Amino acid sequence: MARRKRQPIVPEARAGLDKLKAKVMKEAGYNVSEQAPDDVKYEVAKDMGVQLQKGYNGQITSKEAGRVGGQIGGRMVKELIQQAKANLGKQVR
C-alpha cells in the first residue's frame, strides 16, 4: 500500500508548519530534529506505548495513530490560537 503524504493547502507553508511542530514539541520536552520534525511522532508513540515504527504500520489501530497525531497536532493548534489571540489587539496601519 502506498503511503499518502499529506500536503498543506498552501505548499509554501510547509517550512513554517515544520518549524511550529519543532517548537511546540521541544517545549513539551521532546527531542526534535530541525531537519526531520516528523520523526518526533516515534518518540511520542513510544511514550504512549504505541508500537509505531518507520515504514508500514498496519498493526496499529486508527485510534492509536490518532492518539499520537493528536498529541502533536493538538499542541500545534493551541500554539496557533495563542498567537492569534496575541495578535488580536494589534492593529495593522
- Nearest Cα neighbor of 26 from 11, 43, 46, 9 is 43
pLDDT per residue of the chain (93 residues) written in tens, 0 to 9:
445 567 788 889 989 999 999 999 999 999 998 889 989 999 999 999 999 999 999 999 999 999 999 999 999 999 999 999 999 877 665
Distances, alpha carbon 50 to alpha carbons 27, 35, 42, in Å: 22, 24, 9
Is the Cα dihedral 34, 36, 38, 48 positive or negative?
A: negative
**Residue type (1 letter), 50:** V
Domain boundaries of the chain, sorted by first residue = 13-88
